[in-house]
Amino acid sequence: PDLEAASAVATREAQLTKPAGALGRLEEITQWLATWQGRKQPRINRPRIAVFAANHGVAAQGVSAYPSSVTRQMVDNFLQGGAAVNQLVGTIDGDLRVYELDLDNPTADFTVEAAMSEAACAQAMAYGMMAVEAGIDVLGLGEMGIGNTTSAAALCLGLFGGTAEEWVGPGTGVSGEALARKIAVVDKAYALHKDACGKDALKWLAAVGGLELAAIAGAVLAARLAKTPVLLDGFVSTAAAAVVYAIDPRALDHCLVAHVSAEPGHRRLIAKIGQEPLLDLGMRLGEGSGAAVAVSLLRAAATCHSGMATFGQAGVSGPV
């Protein structure tokens, strides 16, 4: 963290033509951008949204409203520009990158065995690190993977405890019997892996996570080293980042949660990692969509800070 940049921002903020604190959360965002970009004049000229896609063995348990084939179909849709995230990235003049993680080889069904070996998990983390490159001003992390809210719920249960009911939600839209099955699947996974994983967050990631979740955790770590602030998207992205939080809570200080999704576990998870979401719009799509929308708030904050006149420059009187 660049505390000198943060301090320079605070000094300038107090001189800008507005009552102290009148831009609210936008002022906090500017401080945060300065701290993690290491810039006295933070900027959002080059935002990137990275979407990681993978398939899940647990989908065979009937936990999603959609078949696993939709993962690749949606990746093709991303590449052809037809998905929501494509349009949203367009509105922020952003750069969209789609990373496929071996779609033809889903993880193992984690109700039977670990989803990934530790080696495969580490390899997916390393792959995720590639999303971080020099010159990116903020990185939004999204995902696509039929079955991955089940994986995220199991991961949250492993990392933070509670009950499967508290972490499982409709995902793409399951209810009734299918939702009950999803809860049972998460319960079974927890029972199967809890002795082997214990309090080891990385073991939980390998046991019940997915390749795209591992990649997101890797991207979070790489972004920290590259001075790239991160916007976490929905329940799955936040669950992946929570692995890093479970290892060291301060290791997520360069990340903000872009929005709270309609998936009920997301609000609970955000509270567990001590964050406040920037937006609350009832979105529940994943694919980086909420992160892309939140980029406009970061740009608003940075642009106000760098472009506003000071009281002195504008000849505006201060408080009486």
Binding map of its own copies across residues 67-106, x = CB under 8 A, - = no contact: x-xx--xx-xx--xxxxx-xxx-xxx--------------
| Minimum distance from residue 21 beta carbon to its own copies (Å) | 8
Q: Which is nearer to its own copies, 83 or 192 (CB)?
A: 83
Hey, which residues between 170 and 229 contact its own copies (CB under 8 A)? 172-173
Q: Which is nearer to its own copies, 189 or 285 (CB)?
A: 285
Buried b (16+ CB within 10 A) or exposed e, 79-104: eeeebbbbebbeebebebbbbbbebe
What DSSP letter does each residue of 78-124 carry, written as one string?
A: HHHT-SHHHHHHHHTT-EEEEEE--TTSPPP-TTTS-SS-HHHHHHH
- Quick check: 197 and 204 in contact, CB under 8 A? yes
- Quick check: 241 and 145 in contact, CB under 8 A? no
Please state, in angstroms and as integers, the Cα–Cα distance from residue 213 to each residue in 12, 44, 114, 206, following that order. Answer: 39, 26, 14, 10
Q: According to the binding rule CB under 8 A, does residue 45 interact with its own copies?
A: no
Q: Which of 19, 176, 199, 250 binds its own copies (CB under 8 A)?
A: 19
Q: Which of 1, 17, 46, 194 binds its own copies (CB under 8 A)?
A: 17
- Token pair for residue 83? 């998905």
First to last CA, the chain: 37
Q: According to the binding rule CB under 8 A, does residue 60 interact with its own copies?
A: no
CA-based R_g, the chain, Å? 20
Residue of 260, 268, 258, 267 lying closest to 284 (CA atoms): 260
177 in catalytic set: no
| Minimum distance from residue 55 beta carbon to its own copies (Å) | 14
Q: Which is nearer to its own copies, 80 or 119 (CB)?
A: 80
Ramachandran class of 234: left when φ > 0, alpha when ψ lies in -120 to 50, beta otherwise: beta
| Minimum distance from residue 119 beta carbon to its own copies (Å) | 33
Binding map of its own copies across residues 288-307, x = CB under 8 A, - = no contact: -x--xx--xx-xx--xx-xx
Q: Which is nearer to its own copies, 66 or 160 (CB)?
A: 66
| Minimum distance from residue 285 beta carbon to its own copies (Å) | 4
- Quick check: 57 and 107 in contact, CB under 8 A? yes
- Quick check: 92 and 86 in contact, CB under 8 A? no
| Minimum distance from residue 289 beta carbon to its own copies (Å) | 7
Q: According to the binding rule CB under 8 A, does residue 318 interact with its own copies?
A: yes
Hey, which residues between 137 and 156 contact its own copies (CB under 8 A)? none
What letter would DSSP give residue 205?
H
Rounded to the nearest 5°, which phi and psi values hold at 206?
Answer: -70, -35
Q: Where are the alpha helices (DSSP H) in 161-263?
A: 164-167, 176-197, 201-208, 211-225, 235-247
Binding map of its own copies across residues 225-264, x = CB under 8 A, - = no contact: ------------------------------------xx--
Q: Which is nearer to its own copies, 269 or 301 (CB)?
A: 301
Partners of 257 in the beta sheet? 232
| Minimum distance from residue 169 beta carbon to its own copies (Å) | 12
Partners of 99 in the beta sheet? 52
Show which residues are catalytic: 287
- The residues binding its own copies (CB under 8 A) are 16-26, 64-67, 69-70, 73-74, 76-77, 80-84, 86-88, 90-92, 172-173, 261-262, 278-285, 289, 292-293, 296-297, 299-300, 303-304, 306-309, 313-320
